[in-house]
Amino acid sequence: MTFRAILIEKDDQGYRAGLQNLDDSALPEGNVTVRVAYSTLNYKDGLAITGKSPVVRKFPMVPGVDLVGTVEDSSDPDWRVGDQVVLNGWGVGETHWGGLAQRARLKGEWLVPLPEAFTPEQAMAIGTAGYTAMLCVMALERHGVRPDQGEVVVTGAAGGVGSVAVALLAKLGYTVAAVTGRPQESDYLKGLGASTVLDRAELSAPGKPLGKERWAGAVDTVGSHTLANVCAQTKYRGTVAACGLAGGMDFPSTVAPFILRGVTLAGIDSVMCPRAERLLAWQRLAKDLDPTKLAAITHTIGLSQALDAGAQVLAGQVRGRVVVDVNA
């Protein structure tokens, strides 16, 4: 059997990504084979496809950190033929062939069941971005951030993680301030539940070690000066959930917010997150994410279109989530 996939290669001719027909014998080792229905394009996938950052650690590689599909073959006792499954992270698309293909062979321990509340396409509208957003919300809750304590700010709000975070927080009763560099997205963000929309220029320049206390909590997808300024303006004993680096990997801050205001900086890793917490995050998404919001957040493309869309994601030209129909 053959299947279509985006394949990234690196050799004497350089780094390149292209759509290819591959044989099943090329699939990597694993105890579960999945017929993929949909994948997604995340920031990390854009980096992999374009080669802008050394995300891919093994060649050749099929990118795609997310997938949803149906089990076709399994020697794992937890999964049977016909089960619908979701995968997020675990190094797929980096060290193990990922979801931007019609077939995938994986470790059963990486999979979670598709929640009954979502169709396969909706599950990928959520994807790693939405699952990460839920992990951020859970971290804020775990550290005691409540809706009655004041605004929660979301940076990079028009992106994938940000869009879902805004929708989740609003549905849970929080007052949300959405930060974006795209003022034309104000109506979109308010439609997701944001109460106010701020220009990212307010936070992206170097700032003071401590600023006026503004937010009870934060979800930051940007890093660098933005994260530093968010921490400096978080209220006493507030919490900042940091999950992204769209603005840079650096953190030009001081210890002042942490030792003078007791601010918590909670790091969010979605790639190697333990399975029990993944299952809880997906259960919470099924309960706390309004499925009607997904249509506004998402647009769907075919597998061949993913090559160009990867660069668009990196350039910040994509609103919300990109779902990839690998069979289109």
Number of domains in the chain: 2
Give domain status of residue 288, yes or no: no
Give domain status of residue 189, yes or no: yes
Largest CA distance in the chain: 62
Looking at residue 291, what is its pLDDT? 85
The one-character DSSP state at 82 is T
Q: Do residues 183 and 232 share a domain?
A: yes
Looking at residue 297, what is its pLDDT? 87
Give domain status of residue 281, yes or no: no
Q: CA-to-CA distance for 38 and 124, rounded, in angstroms?
A: 7
* pTM over cut 0.75: yes
Looking at residue 54, what is its pLDDT? 86
Looking at residue 216, what is its pLDDT? 98
Q: Do residues 137 and 185 share a domain?
A: yes
Q: Do residues 151 and 55 share a domain?
A: no
Q: Which domain holds residue 240?
A: 128-267
Looking at residue 1, what is its pLDDT? 84
Q: CA-to-CA distance for 5 and 71, rounded, in angstroms?
A: 18
Q: Do residues 61 and 175 share a domain?
A: no
Q: Do residues 252 and 135 share a domain?
A: yes
The one-character DSSP state at 32 is E
Looking at residue 66, what is its pLDDT? 97
CATH assignment of the domain containing 46: 3.90.180.10
Contact 281, 135 (CB under 8 A): yes
CA dist list (Å): 222 to 17, 204, 253, 281, 315: 26, 9, 14, 22, 14
Give domain status of residue 259, yes or no: yes
Q: Do residues 11 and 84 share a domain?
A: yes
The domain boundary residue, chosen from 220, 252, 267: 267
Q: Do residues 261 and 140 share a domain?
A: yes
The domain boundary residue, chosen from 224, 251, 267: 267
Looking at residue 141, what is its pLDDT? 98
For 27-78, write each residue's pLDDT tens digit.
Answer: 999 999 999 999 999 889 999 999 988 899 999 999 999 999 999 999 999 9
Q: Is 327 helix (H, G, I), strand (E, B) or coil?
A: coil
Contact 313, 49 (CB under 8 A): no
CATH assignment of the domain containing 245: 3.40.50.720
Q: Do residues 102 and 138 share a domain?
A: no
Q: Which two tokens stand for residue 136?
A: 């951020």
Q: Do residues 248 and 144 share a domain?
A: yes
pLDDT in tens, the chain (328 residues): 899 999 999 999 899 999 999 999 999 999 999 999 999 998 899 999 999 888 999 999 999 999 999 999 999 999 999 999 999 999 999 999 999 999 999 999 999 999 999 999 999 999 999 999 999 999 999 999 999 999 999 999 998 899 999 999 999 999 999 999 999 999 999 999 999 999 999 999 999 999 999 999 999 999 999 999 999 999 999 999 999 998 999 999 999 999 999 999 999 999 999 999 999 999 999 999 988 888 888 999 999 999 999 999 888 888 888 999 999 9
Among 245, 268, 269, 265, which Cα is nearest to 257's?
265
Give domain status of residue 289, yes or no: no
Looking at residue 316, what is its pLDDT? 82
Amino acid present at 320: G
Give domain status of residue 275, yes or no: no
Give domain status of residue 276, yes or no: no
Among 125, 103, 135, which Cα is nearest to 40's?
125
In the block, which residue shows the tokens 């009954």?
116
Residue 266: strand pairing partners: 241
Q: Which two tokens stand for residue 212?
A: 């006026």
Amino acid present at 265: L
Q: Do residues 138 and 199 share a domain?
A: yes
Looking at residue 318, what is its pLDDT? 83
Q: Do residues 209 and 105 share a domain?
A: no
Q: Do residues 170 and 200 share a domain?
A: yes
- Phi then psi dihedrals of residue 56, to 5 deg: -75, 125
Give domain status of residue 285, yes or no: no
CA dist list (Å): 176 to 157, 214, 274, 318, 325: 10, 12, 28, 21, 32
Looking at residue 191, what is its pLDDT? 95
With residue 58 as reference, give the H or E element that holds it: none
Q: CA-to-CA distance for 146 and 142, rounded, in angstroms?
A: 10
Q: Is 105 helix (H, G, I), strand (E, B) or coil?
A: strand
